[in-house]
Amino acid sequence: DAGVTQSPTHLIKTRGQQVTLRCSPKSGHDTVSWYQQALGQGPQFIFQYYEEEERQRGNFPDRFSGHQFPNYSSELNVNALLLGDSALYLCASSLVTATYGYTFGSGTRLTVV
């Protein structure tokens, strides 16, 4: 049974560019959350998607947007990249009730130069 799959694993972008990160949730999960983990810090909640709608949002600017597809997979889009957006982006999937907790992917390492 596959866990959470994220792609790509690494990428390098230039300031001002746009990036799309992808996440396939664990089989049976219907909710996807995205987190940003800066170097040496704990993950920070970006937003959560359920039934193709944004259900909760953390304290991130509108440059960060997302989408959930009918198959529960999700994308995170970041526009007008800043150097400070360099981080590990983690996707976590769960049931909407989070009854059995959250399963995290290995993350996408984004470097903005």
In the complex, the residues that contact another protein under the rule CB under 8 A are 4, 33, 35, 40-45, 48, 56, 58, 90, 92, 96-98, 101-107
Which residue, 78, 107, 99, is CA-closest to 10? 107
Closer residue to another protein (CB): 19 or 35: 35
Nearer to another protein, 70 or 101 (CB): 101
Residue closest to 82 by CA, chosen among 7, 17, 11, 9: 17
- Farthest-apart Cα atoms in the chain, separation: 40
Nearer to another protein, 1 or 16 (CB): 1
> Closest distance between another protein and the C-beta of residue 104, in Å?
4
